[in-house]
Amino acid sequence: MDQQEIDKIFYRDGYRMAQRYLDQELSPVQMGEAIKALYLAVDELLEAFLHRASEEGQPVSCKEGCAWCCHQEVFAITHEFLYLNDYMQKHLSEADRLAVLERAREKVKISMNLSVEEQLKIRSACPFLDSDSCMVYEARPMACRIYLSASEPSCRKEHDHPSDKRSFPGLFDFPLRAGRMMNEGFVAWLKKAGLQESELPIEQGYSSMLTLGQGMKEW
């Protein structure tokens, strides 16, 4: 089976997951359940993949406390921002939420007027990062879940030299493709249902959503 066919399979999986959870009831509760199920499916797929990679002598280098990738620009989509906010309302204190929002707004000042190419060269901590630990790990966007490296030194080098076009982190390709295609399929169904989806840097999407007072219900 060629790569194109594999991509289509994961795309259909994402599309059907949204359809299964939301076709009969497009409510905030069901939306939360659908996104949770999407993330769980991806996490289980990646767990199996990484187990196999480890058995084949290429274990993942990612571990708690390693945060090189948490200083680069991360892009997320509307439903992911809403899920993040819902998670924070339930699990973080008001003081922590305000601190995250303040950090997000400060980073917006850096990224707002830059091109995508320039944004990708930014090296500034994610607003959800605290002492090299993700405050919203269970609710992190797809881009974070599928960014898995076999080489911590390559990630450090890419962090230290973002403009060096010869420097690439040693990422596993399968997680990137599978997760991306599942997310695209999920988004395709949401758009078909009439929902607006936008992709933005995480600090821009999160801060603007709170500024506008947008939640699952308003969406």
Mean pLDDT of 32-60: 96
> Which of these, 194, 175, 197, lies nearest to 46 by C-alpha position?
175
In this predicted model, what pLDDT tens digit does every residue of 93-121 receive, in sequence order?
999 999 999 999 999 998 888 888 888 88
pLDDT value of position 7: 95
Spatial distance between the Cα atoms of 69 and 158, rounded to a whole number of angstroms: 9
pLDDT value of position 209: 86
First to last CA, the chain: 39
Contact status, residue 156 vs residue 68, Cβ threshold 8 Å: yes
Q: Which residue has the higher pLDDT, 112 or 127?
A: 127
DSSP per-residue codes, 53-66: HHHTT------TT-
Amino acid at 36: K
Sequence-ordered alpha helix ranges (H) in 61-214: 78-91, 94-111, 116-119, 142-145, 152-160, 173-192, 202-212
- pTM score above 0.85: yes
- Angle formed by the axes of helices 173-192 and 3-22, to 10°? 40
pLDDT value of position 214: 67
Spatial distance between the Cα atoms of 112 and 9, rounded to a whole number of angstroms: 36
pLDDT value of position 139: 98
In this predicted model, what pLDDT tens digit does every residue of 54-75 receive, in sequence order?
999 999 999 999 999 999 999 9
194 has pLDDT over 80: yes
219 has pLDDT over 90: no
Spatial distance between the Cα atoms of 56 and 50, rounded to a whole number of angstroms: 10
Task: Enumerate the domain spans of the chain.
Answer: 3-212
Q: How many residues belong to the chain?
A: 219
pLDDT value of position 116: 87
76 has pLDDT over 80: yes
Tell me the average pLDDT of the chain: 93
Spatial distance between the Cα atoms of 171 and 146, rounded to a whole number of angstroms: 9
Spatial distance between the Cα atoms of 87 and 24, rounded to a whole number of angstroms: 24
Q: Tell me the backbone φ, ψ of residue 131, rounded to 5 degrees.
A: 55, 45
In this structure, the strands spanning 129-130 and 199-201 are unpaired
Eight-class DSSP state of 134: E
